A and B are shown apart, each in its own frame.
Chain A
């Protein structure tokens, strides 16, 4: 891929600069430990893109995977310009699980190892359609659950064998309780949350951090058509939180944090009452 060359020219150019134009150093601890090798699955999702910008700014190495080539292309360009130490990409439809092993091996090879994986693929789907037509429900489950299980199986084993790495997986508060308004999406995320919890339980002792991320509604392309009265979270704020918690290696993260409390309350409502509510 030409991305390698691109990165190298940028580095050389910076080195030739007179010292006063040198970029100011990023000073947080994680960056001082040297660049990390990060694989991002679903790199053109709003949350992934915003988070990658912060990683890029501290010089991390990125391997970006997404379905749409044009979008992936501009996201990769953005990361290079922002300072990523290395950027490589692969266009892939991750619904096709038969290609996963090859793709992941290629990514690991390109990055020369793996420190962090951000699993950000997912679709909201059409909730009404998914009630009527299993094809739509299946599509949602395939992308949000089945595909991610396939990816995490490979990645979990890879990291466990090496006793190294962090897997950060984007689930959703919608998985905390099934609601009439989007239970197919919700159940795909519920299944995912359960899977990730089990994986953590299995490989944490191998020295692999597994993080479940549960965002509330965030202002991105995915939520563009939504009419939500209470303000949606700003994607840049969410990204800043994610960079911090992923560095820290937490287990289950709600972003913004208030959703931990909201969901605790929603989970506590007894079912006989819950089924009467319009959520």
Chain B
């Protein structure tokens, strides 16, 4: 029953996906494009637009600040059924876009491993998918968007209009202003199905050979066993797929019902259980090479079936480590890092290996760059995890790579500033009213000018 509207700000928990770090913030949801910048009134310690909080660390957090959730701003504004050009408010999720587009014979041009992210969040992190080699990152498929600054300025941004703001905002981590709406170029499909193949490999060389052999396949990704050593070192499964060319069902996906019900106890994830899981996963695929027709849901979003699977890591949360290392050092870097991880005794269920192609990102601060990309999740064990993340970050730097802010909770200011040398140029486009815990952290020390 309707109760009093409280004058006090609401503080329901807003967690990022990793559940670490955890900060209090005031939530002021945006319902309409015109709600910003008015919603900033009273936001003294800064503000930050946020989407679904599907980033792992603190790019979508602001300690003691004001978070502006955008998910109620989820309207479709225009759709051209012939070209697949969709215009929508930035708070719409990719799941909602798929519900609309798939029955009409269209699919996302690029999608991350979960569909529960917003259009704005996907642009702000310039997310990548399994088709980076052939499609580049998300921003490459966004012809234009509107950016609203805290002083009320509204800008149409594209490669022609306000191109510098366009470049700063793609991958701009929500710091350049609010994206109110954006255009997205969808790709045509004739079926929900994916022509899928899974191929076992042993070691990075075999992985790279496979990659070369299947160059023309749109979607590729590999799962790697990062626990096993010796002859099983860096074994994995190379998974690839293309949208099926055989016209078939184009229906929406039913809502998931399975919810991971509780925070798993800390001992549930250890080296032994992960090792068991990995061996099971590797051999679940009975033959070295399988080929089948698979629905797009399990292919792109294997984990979305279980909402809140992050609870599997317990209350403490998890850390993700994700790098891109250029070709020059890709193989040696990846092997060295895999060895370092195996040595640490920490285990990861989700170790994902893939390659980035050479279509350049449009964003000034975008993460993807040609080479090898590797991502894994660690449970938090304070004495081991943090020093390990530190070492892995330094190794990444040594091999000329960089870490992904969207997945990060640990990189230091010197690391960040070396990974992203354009960061100083980027600060010119930062909105003075907006900031994030991530940004405060990576620009704080070493006398860095902000």
Contact = CB atoms under 8 A, between A and B. Distances in A.
Contact of A74 (B6, B8, B33, B79): B33
Contact of B4 (A23, A71, A181, A224): A181
A77 B2 contact: no
Contacts of B143: none
Nearest to B29: A224
A217 B103 CA distance: 33
Contacts of B188: 21
B339 interface: no
A81 B80 CA distance: 9
A21 B104 contact: yes
Which of B76, B80, B251 gathers most chain A CB within 10 Å?
B76
Interface stretch (A8-16, A29-37, A107-115, A202-210): A8-16
B105 interface: yes
B190 interface: yes
A174 B1 contact: yes
B83 to A, nearest CB: 10
A226 B75 contact: no
Given A13-B80, A77-B78, A82-B76, A20 B2 contact: no
A217 B6 CA distance: 14
Nearest to B32: A71
B449 interface: no
Nearest to A216: B1
A101 interface: no
A158 to B, nearest CB: 31
A129 to B, nearest CB: 10
A21 B33 CA distance: 32
Contacts of B105: 17, 20-22
Interface string A149-183: 00000000000000000000000111000010110
A70 interface: yes
B7 interface: yes
A78 B91 CA distance: 13
A74 B77 contact: yes
Contacts of B447: none
B397 interface: no
B3 A74 contact: no
Interface in A218-245: 221, 223-228
Nearest to B84: A21
B247 A20 contact: yes
A181 B3 CA distance: 7
Which of B5, B6, B31, B79 gathers most chain A CB within 10 Å?
B5
Interface residues of A, number: 40
B244 to A, nearest CB: 12
A118 B6 CA distance: 29
A227 B26 CA distance: 13
Contacts of B210: none
Which of B2, B77, B103 gathers most chain A CB within 10 Å?
B2
Given A21-B105, A224-B29, A182 B77 contact: no
B72 interface: yes
A78 B87 CA distance: 10
B408 interface: no
B74 to A, nearest CB: 9
B327 interface: no
A203 B29 CA distance: 42
Contacts of B251: 24
Interface in B5-50: 5-8, 10, 29, 31-34
Which of A21, A77, A216 gathers most chain B CB within 10 Å?
A21
A10 B82 CA distance: 10
Nearest to A227: B6
Interface in B144-173: none
B32 A23 contact: no
